[in-house]
Amino acid sequence: MSLARSRGAIAGIGELKPTRRTEGRTTLEMIAEVSRLAVFDAGLEPGHIDGLLVGPQVGETPQHVPATVAEYLGLKPDMANVVDLGGASGAGMVWRAAAAIEAGMCEAVLCVLANTREEVPARSPNRNPIREFDVPFGASGANISYALLMQAHMAEHGSSPQGFAAIAAWARANAQRNPDAIFHGKPASIDEVLASPMVASPLHLLEIVMPVAGGEAVVVVSAKRARQLAKPAVHLLGAGEKVTHRAVSQAPSLTSGPLKPAMARAFAQSGTRAAEMNLLSLYDCYTIMVAATIEDAGLCAAGQFGQWVRDHDLGPSGDAPLNTHGGQLGFGQPDLAGGMTHVVEAVRQLRGEATGRQIANAKLALVTGNGATMSEATALVLGADQ
Amino acid sequence: MSVDLDLLKTPGPTITALTAPFWQAASEGRLAIQSCEACGKAVFYPRPICPHCWSDRLAWREASGGGRLKSFSAVHKPGHPGWLPAVPYVVGLVELDEGPTMLSFIAAGEDACAVGQSLVLKPTRIGGRLLPAFKPSAMAGSTTPNQTGDTLMSTQTKDGWIGVIKGRPQVGAFAERSRRTRLEDIEAFTEMTGDRNPLHYDKALAEASVFGKLIVQGGVTSGILNALVAEDLPGPGTVFLEVGWKFVKAVGVDEMITGRVEIKEVRQDKPICKIETSVRNEAGDICLAGTATVFTVPLAKA
Ligand SMILES: [Zn+2]
């Protein structure tokens, strides 16, 4: 029998002895124990693991499951995912891990599933470390976490409230060219942003996205197939991903995030540089997120985003178009679909379909995604069909 | 802020057996964090394995209580309505002297906070419980209405656990140990004690009895608890002073049993603790349940 080319290999296994009850234990604890068995079985060290596939709802945490698990295990993976295929999840993880390795995203993927079983199920489904160690001290929700990041940036670099507010003002300005934006017809000046109520110092209300309902979708096919279809193809030229933590207290840095290595990989895969981008489609849940991304992309030195924003025109006809749809700060944040607005706008611009706000001769776009507290990062370099 | 934080209806921690020592210490006005015995690094928040080297040898240690303020925020619009009466209040990221960072309540006004400043532990009653909050160390000595921890910190008596190999255990700490019972256990126990009860030897008779099977002597079942206290928790040097056990269900031959001990009370002045004990079978049924008092002889060489 002749074997097909190997598409990947399983190098280590771990298994916990089944028990009827796990009273008082958490899924995260079980995951830690079985992961340790598998990684050591492979003769690897935790530092070798750069990919992570987990099941849904583990760690009694409804969202950000891979980041919660990665932080718990002290991992900082370059690829992380939930595989939610019921009983097919385990097998489903194996080919996805191999595909991610073949795509050049990572080299060693931990695929882990575990569960607890209690006589009386826990009263609250949320039993993750943030719920236990942050919430009792008065820190619930993303606003406070991003306020802490912003305060740290101001302390480390002396960045000014005006610099952050300028990002919100630009988002509002660009939203005036997008009739669909929630803030269409409602521009806001830097002074108006700074005069809005303080939510958690130093973060003002108008520096935070407005939650809205919405939806976004894209269809991905092969490059060959795309060229046979109706619309101009928009190509994925490079990608990068990085997950460093879940809770803000566990962030390796408060002023530079996982987008830095994620963007570096995306630029390297695509053979491009940040300065070559015709569109910066940057995830903007808060003004601080855009500030950190501008610096992490290498568009300016660390701490210099305020000067960079002052020196550039971020509108569609400017020298550094940034979030031409208004960003989420101007468009609104339809929950998780908010991140996809940055992909959809990049495709519009690269197809030449951004009516009323088209960037002339748009060839390259940088798209970033960000999750939790500058914790989960994905960067894409997209290119127009040549 | 003039509001009594203790009266706030704020959410408390979701404590598990693993994290209980942290919260027990907190309730005594102390800060306990884990320390990895393999790589030497301090670990926060509590985990079953070290996030740096994945060793499972983690020990609880008293933190110095000192730290540095990495960032802070005065919260005007809290994420939980229970905090509304206290706004604006300050939360901060505290880099502990031991290395890890924790988020905590900063018992000071925003104007008294600066990134980079030194902090000291300031146990503070919030929402009906004593929590490990911090305050700027420059403020040390000043008093606020919530200052309850400082007095607790100073009432420590002589440490009776000096010289104990595994040190003083924490309330809430537990250990488990499993083994499969064998026919040889019955024979060894008989050899030791002379107990030749037919329930342990006469298969036909035993199967016709209420037990329906050959069963091991109770001493074989409870013996796993001897191993647990002497090997795991509180560890080498431990002997039973008093036990109160109910043998709820008989254990047969070739059954996997799991013993469990959990620390319920710890004396500070003497190496004595009260523990909860149980032995379960493979199906999870309780076979033995009860409590015990143990004494741990200090055996560590100075
Ligand atoms: Zn370690």
Whether A343 is in a domain gets the answer yes
Whether A126 is in a domain gets the answer yes
Please indicate, yes or no, whether residues A168 and A292 belong to a single structural domain of this protein: yes
Q: How far apart are CA A142 and CA A372, in angstroms?
A: 7
Residues 1-30 of A with CB under 8 A from B: 19-21, 24-26, 28-29
Closest CA to A12 of A79, A94, A86: A94
Please indicate, yes or no, whether residues A120 and A147 belong to a single structural domain of this protein: no
pTM: 0.72
Whether A57 is in a domain gets the answer yes
Distance from CA of A57 to the nearest CA of B (A): 17
Confidence band for A117, pLDDT divided at 50, 70 and 90: confident
Which stretches within A103-240 are classed as H helix?
Answer: 129-133, 142-157, 161-175, 190-195, 223-227
From A133, A167, A185, the end of a domain falls on: A133
CATH top-level class of B149-296: alpha beta
Whether A12 is in a domain gets the answer no
Please indicate, yes or no, whether residues A112 and A222 belong to a single structural domain of this protein: no
* C-alpha B58 – ligand 1 centre gap (Å): 8
Q: Are residues B71 and A155, on separate chains, in Cβ contact within 8 Å?
A: yes
CATH number at residue A96: 3.40.47.10
Query: A2 — phi, psi (to 5°)?
Result: -95, 135
Confidence band for A2, pLDDT divided at 50, 70 and 90: low
- Per-10-residue mean pLDDT of chain B, 302 residues long, equals 87 93 97 96 97 96 97 97 96 98 97 96 97 86 41 53 88 88 90 88 87 90 94 92 91 92 89 93 90 90 62
Residue B27 host element (H or E) = helix B20-27
CA distances from residue A352 to A234, A305, A346, B157 in whole angstroms, order as listed? 11, 29, 10, 77
Please indicate, yes or no, whether residues A189 and A65 belong to a single structural domain of this protein: no
Please indicate, yes or no, whether residues A221 and A309 belong to a single structural domain of this protein: yes
Q: Estimate to the nearest angstrom the gap between the alpha carbon of A310 and the chain centroid.
A: 26
From A133, A150, A175, the end of a domain falls on: A133
Which residue range(s) make up the domain with A237? 142-384
Place of tokens 């993976």: A77
Please indicate, yes or no, whether residues A43 and A69 belong to a single structural domain of this protein: yes
Q: Estimate to the nearest angstrom the gap between the alpha carbon of B140 and the chain centroid.
A: 30
Confidence band for A3, pLDDT divided at 50, 70 and 90: low
* C-alpha B37 – ligand 1 centre gap (Å): 7
Q: How far apart are CA B20 and CA B17, in angstroms?
A: 5
CB of A248 less than 8 A from some CB of B: yes
Please indicate, yes or no, whether residues A117 and A181 belong to a single structural domain of this protein: no
Q: Quick check: B109 and B139 in contact, CB under 8 A? A: no
CB of B47 less than 8 A from some CB of A: yes
Q: Is the pLDDT of residue A118 over 80?
A: no
From A133, A153, A171, the end of a domain falls on: A133
A155 contacts in B (CB within 8 Å)? 71, 114-116
Whether A15 is in a domain gets the answer no
Structural domain boundaries in chain B: 5-139, 149-296
Distance from CA of A99 to the nearest CA of B (A): 27
ipTM of the complex: 0.87
Q: Tally the domains of chain A.
A: 2
- Provide CB contacts within 8 A for A365, sequence distance 6+: A277, A278, A279, A280, A281, A346, A349, A350, A381, A382, A383
Whether A327 is in a domain gets the answer yes
Distance from CA of A155 to the nearest CA of B (A): 6
Confidence band for A27, pLDDT divided at 50, 70 and 90: confident
Q: pLDDT tens digit string along B83-127?
A: 999 999 999 999 999 999 999 999 999 999 999 999 999 999 999
* C-alpha B35 – ligand 1 centre gap (Å): 8
Whether A332 is in a domain gets the answer yes
Whether A284 is in a domain gets the answer yes
Task: Say what the pLDDT of residue A266 is.
Answer: 93
Q: Estimate to the nearest angstrom the gap between the alpha carbon of A143 and the chain centroid.
A: 17
CA distances from residue B35 to A46, A118, B55, B58, B149 in whole angstroms, order as listed? 18, 29, 11, 5, 24
Please indicate, yes or no, whether residues A166 and A55 belong to a single structural domain of this protein: no
Q: Is the pLDDT of residue A194 over 50?
A: yes
* C-alpha A294 – ligand 1 centre gap (Å): 35
